[in-house]
Amino acid sequence: MSASAEPAHYLTGGWSLRGWLLTLDHKRIAWLYAISITGFFFLGGIAALLIRLELLTPAGDLLSSEAYNRLFSLHGIVMVWFFLIPSIPATLGNFLLPMMVGARDMAFPRLNLLSWYIYTLGGLFTMVAVIAGGVDTGWTFYTPYSTLFANSAVLAAATGVFVVGFSSILTGINFIVTTHTMRVPGQTWLRLPLFVWANYATALIMVLATPVLSITLLLIALERTLGIGIFDPALGGDPLLFQHLFWFYSHPAVYIMILPAMGVISEIIACFSRNPVFGYTGMVLSIMAIALFGFLVWGHHMFVSGQSLYAGILFSLFSFLVAVPSAIKTLNWTATMFRGRIVYTAPMIYALSFLGLFVIGGLTGVFLASLAVDVHLHDTYFVTAHFHYIMVGGAVTAYLGGLHFWWPKLTGRLYPALWSKVAALALFIGFNLTFYPQFLLGYGGMPRRYHEYPEAFELLHVMSTLGTGVLAIGYLMPLVYLAWSLRYGERAPANPWHAKGLEWLAPSPPPVDNFVTTPTVTEAPYAYR
C-alpha cells in the first residue's frame, strides 16, 4: 500500500524525530502519551505478576520481604500516577476533545507538549528510585513510616510523583479552557458529547486536587531531606494530618480515573444501541455531582484511624450519597439500550463488560461506606478487589473499549473483528477469575500488603493467581492485533460505525487541522433516531 494513494493526514509527512518530539499537534501528542502510558502499564503489570506469583504459596519463598514491599509500592505508584490518571484523558481526551468541540487544536498546544515531557521525564525519574533499590512505603506514603523510618528511596519516588503532578495540572488547564472557549458555533454546552463533559469534570478535579498532593509530597520530601517535619508526634505533630492531606487529593483522584471512562462508555453504548443516551441532562448533572461530592468523602479511608467518630459519620453519609449519581448513570446506560438496535462489536462488548464490572465495584464501595462493615474490611483484600473492579474492570476496560472504538479514526485502519471480541471476552473472564476470590479473602480476614500469609488462605490466592493468566491474554492480544492493523489492517472509512459526533465528520485519519471545513452544530448530540 503506497502512502501516496491516500490524502495527507496528521500521520503523513514528518516521521522525523523532530516531527514527533517537537510536535504541537494534539493528535500526535496523544500518541506520544499512548506510547509512554503503555510502557508504564506493562511495567506495573510485571510488578503485579510477580506479586501474584509470590502469593501462590503462603510462605515468602519467591521474594524477600523487602523486595515484595517494594514491588507492591511500585505497582501502586506506576498504575495510579503513571497509568490510570493520564490514560484516557491524555490519549483519547487529547485526540478527541478538540475534535468534539469542532476546534483545530487545544487552546494551549505548547503546554500540551510540555505536559507530555513532564510526565515522561517524571516517570523516568521515578525509575531512578526503582534502580536505587525501590521504595517500600506503599503508594500511600503514610507517615511516620515514610518520613522517619523507611530506609528506601522515598525522596526519589515522592519527587518523581510531584513532577508528574504538574503534567496533570497542565492537562487539566488545557481541557478546561478548550471546552470553555473553543467550541464552534452551535456547539452549546448542552449539545456537547458526554465524553467532553466527563473530561471537563475530570479536568476540574485535576486542577483543584493535584496541588494538595504536591504540597503533601513536598512536606514528605522536606522532612526527609532537611529534617523539617510537621507530622512527627515527638514535636506535637499529628501523623493523621498526613492522611487527611493525602486523601483529600487521592480520593478525588479516583474520580479522575473513572469519569473519563464513563464518558467513553456513554459514546460507545449510544452508538451501538443506535439510540441517544438516555437522560442526557441527568448524565451531565451526575458527572458534575460526582466531581463535587468526590471532594467530600476522603475520610472514608480513615474510619479506623482514630479520627473523630462524628467526622467518620459525616464521611460515611457523603460516601453513600456519591454512589447515587453513579447509579443513575448505570441506569441510564442500560436504558439507552431500550428499544435500540444493538450491534455487538468489540467496543460494545467492552462497554457491556464495563457495566457488569463497574456495578460490582461500585456496590462493594457501598459496603465500604458502611462504617461497621468497613472496620472489618479495611485494609483487607476486599478493598483491593473493590478498587480493582473499578479501576481495571471499569477504567481499563473503558480505555480499551475507547481505543477499539476510535481506532479507525486515530489510525485510518480497521482491526480483525473476531480477535478483538475474543480479547474483550478474555479480559472479562480473566478479570473476574483474578479478583472475585479476593472479595472472599477479604471478609475472611486476609490483610493487604502481606508478603506471606496463614496457610488456610492459600486456595483463594491460587485461584486469583491462575486468573491472571487469562487476564494477561486479554491485555496482550490487543497489543498484537492493533499493532498488526497499523500495517495490514483494512483501511477505514471516515465513519465505519455510523456514529454521531463531530469527530466522525473528519476523514480517518484526520488532517492536521482536524476538519476539511469547520463544522457547525445544529442538532442535539446522539441524534441516532
Partner 1 sequence: MTEASAVNDPGIAFRTIPTAVSDYAGEVDKLYYALLGLSGLLIVILVALVVIFGWRYREDRSGERLPLLGKRTGHYVEIGFAVLLALLFLGIFAWGSQLYLALYGESRADMTINVVGKQWMWKIQHPDGTREINTLHVPAGETIRLRIISQDVIHSFSLPGLRLKRDAVPGQYTSAVFTPEKVGEYRLFCAEYCGTSHSRMRGKLVVLSSADYQAWLTRNGQGPGPVAAGRQLFESYGCSGCHQGKASVRAPGLDGVYGRTVPLADGRTVKADEAYLRDSIMLPQKHVVAGYAPIMPSFSGQIGEGEILQIVAYLKSLEPGEWQTDNSTGARP
Partner 2 sequence: MPTDEPVPAEQFDDMAQQRRSIHLGMWAFLATELLLFGGLFAGFTVYRVQHGAVFAEAATHLDLTLGSINTALLLTSGLTLFAAEQAITDRHRGTGLLFLLATTLLGAVFLGIKGYEWYAEASHNLVPVLGWPFHYEGQSPAIAELFFNFYFIMTGLHAAHMLMGVIALGAMVFLVGRWRDAHKLDRQIRMVGLYWAFVDVVWIFVFTSLYLLRA
Residues forming the site for partner 2 (CB under 8 A): 103-109, 169, 172-174, 176-178, 180-182, 207-212, 214-216, 218-219, 222, 226-230, 232, 234-238, 241, 245, 248
* Residue 148 vs 173, nearer CB to partner 2: 173
Q: How many Å apart are CA 524 and CA 194, to the nearest integer? A: 12
Q: How many Å apart are CA 364 and CA 369, to the nearest integer? A: 9
405: contact with partner 1 by CB under 8 A: no
As measured in angstroms, the least distance from the Cβ of 213 to partner 2 is: 9
324: contact with partner 1 by CB under 8 A: yes
Question: 338, 418, 517, 523: which one contacts partner 1 (CB under 8 A)?
Answer: 338
Q: Are 451 and 67 in contact (CB under 8 A)?
A: no
Cell of 9: 493526514
As measured in angstroms, the least distance from the Cβ of 331 to partner 1 is: 5
Question: 124, 127, 230, 440: which one contacts partner 1 (CB under 8 A)?
Answer: 440
- Closest to 184 in 3D by CA, of 516, 522, 524: 522
Of the chain, the end-to-end C-alpha distance in Å amounts to: 38
180: contact with partner 1 by CB under 8 A: no
DSSP string for residues in 157-182:
HHHHHHHHHHHHHHHHHHHHHHHHH-
DSSP 8-state symbol, 59: S
As measured in angstroms, the least distance from the Cβ of 95 to partner 2 is: 15
Give me the residue label for grid cell 490510570. Answer: 84
Residue 121, binding choice from partner 1, partner 2, none, Cβ under 5 to 8 Å by partner class: none
Residue 65, binding choice from partner 2, partner 1, none, Cβ under 5 to 8 Å by partner class: partner 1
136: contact with partner 1 by CB under 8 A: yes
Angle, in degrees to the nearest 10, between helices 109-131 and 65-77:
180
* Peptide bond preceding 86 in cis form (omega within 30 of 0): no
As measured in angstroms, the least distance from the Cβ of 19 to partner 2 is: 17
Q: How many Å apart are CA 413 and CA 405, to the nearest integer? A: 11
* Peptide bond preceding 454 in cis form (omega within 30 of 0): no
Q: Supply φ then ψ for residue 173, to 5 degrees.
A: -60, -45
C-alpha distances (whole Å) from 48 to each of 51, 436, 465 are 5, 16, 10
Residue 323, binding choice from partner 2, partner 1, none, Cβ under 5 to 8 Å by partner class: partner 1
Question: 8, 53, 375, 524: which one contacts partner 1 (CB under 8 A)?
Answer: 375
Q: How many Å apart are CA 161 and CA 185, to the nearest integer? A: 40
* Residue 49 vs 348, nearer CB to partner 1: 348
* Residue 121 vs 331, nearer CB to partner 1: 331
Residue 296, binding choice from partner 1, partner 2, none, Cβ under 5 to 8 Å by partner class: none
Give me the residue label for grid cell 462508555. Answer: 265
Residue 379, binding choice from partner 1, partner 2, none, Cβ under 5 to 8 Å by partner class: partner 1
Binders of partner 1 among residues 469 to 528 (CB under 8 A) are: none
As measured in angstroms, the least distance from the Cβ of 201 to partner 2 is: 14
Binders of partner 1 among residues 149 to 178 (CB under 8 A) are: 149-150
As measured in angstroms, the least distance from the Cβ of 506 to partner 1 is: 26
443: contact with partner 1 by CB under 8 A: yes
